[in-house]
Amino acid sequence: MKKSALVIINPSSGKEQATEYEEQIRETLQDTYSEITVKYTEGEGDATRFAKEAAENNYDFVVSLGGDGTVNETVNGLAPFNNPPKLGIIPMGTVNDLARSLNIPMKPVDAIKLLVSGTETKIDIGMANDDIYFTNILGIGSAAKAIHHVDSAEKSKIGPIAYLKAIGKEIMDDHTFPIKFEMEEDIWEGDVSVVLISLIDSLGGIKTIVNEVENGDGNFHIFAVKHLNLTELAKMTPSIVMGKLKESENVQYFKTGQVNITTSAGETQESDIDGEQGPNLPLDLKVLQQHITIISNKS
C-alpha cells in the first residue's frame, strides 16, 4: 500500500539553515513513503494551510521542520480532524519545548533519523475557544505577553536569552490582575501576576520546572503565580530547580481537563499560546486527550 508524507520546512529556522536538510529528509523517508512532498513556508499561516491540505488528502505523515511556532501552526492544521496524519518534528527553533518533552534530538540530523526509527506517542492537544489549538504552554499576564513580542532577529542572535530579557523587564513591574477559573470540579478567583497552563513537562527549554506534567494525561496543569518580582522569584527558585513549582507558597496549582478563564470587566488580558499572541480573555479551554500521534524518542 502506498504511503504519503508531507514535509513542511520553515526556511528561516535554524539561523536560516533549514533548507540544507531537505535531501537528507527525502533519503530517510523514501523507503517508507512512496510519495514525498516538500513545501516551504513563506509567511504566517502557511504551515497550518499545508497541514490541513495534507489531512484532507489523507496523507499518512506530516513532518514539521522549524521552531515551536512552526510546530504550533502545523498542529493547528491537523487538530481539527478526528484522525489526523502522524506528526514528525525536526526542531530548529529557539526553545523547542515540545521536542524536548518528547526526547527528540536537538541535532537536526539525528531528529531526521528518528522519523523512521522512533516511537509513536499520543499527545494531548489544548483547544482554546473551539478553534485554536496548542501543544505546550498557554500564558496570561504581562510576563507571558512579553514573550510573543520578542523580536525574531534577537531570538536568532541570542536564543533563549532574548526571552529572559523580555521577562526580566516585567518582573520589575510585578503587575497583578484579577482572574477567575471555572473548572470541572472547582472555582477559584484571585489576583495574580502570571498564569501558566501547561500540557508538557518542558518550559523555556528546561524540563525540571513542571515535573507534575505527564504527556497524554488529559489535563491542563495550571500554575497561577500570585507575585512575580525579584523577592518572590528568589523564594521560588528552590521549588523551580527541584521541579516542585506547585508547592511554592506563591503559586496556586490546579489540574483539570476543562476550564473557563475570565477577568474583571474593564480589564484586558492577552494570552500567549506556544510563544505566539493568542486571544484576549475570556478563554474557554479543553483538552483533546491523546489526539495527535507524534514520532518521539520516548520508550
Q: What does the alpha-carbon distance between residue 184 and residue 174 come to, in Å, rounded to a whole number?
A: 30
213: phi > 0 → left, psi -120 to 50 → alpha, else beta; which?
Answer: beta
Q: Is 27 assigned a catalytic role?
A: no
> What nine digits make up the cell of 179?
482572574
Strands 177-183 and 258-262: antiparallel
Decide the pairing of beta strands 61-66 and 86-91: parallel
- Residues 13/66, Cβ–Cβ less than 8 Å: yes
Contact status, residue 246 vs residue 257, Cβ threshold 8 Å: no
Q: What's the gap between Cα 57 and its chain centre?
A: 26
Catalytic residue among 154, 182, 270, 276: 276
Q: Which residues are catalytic?
A: 276
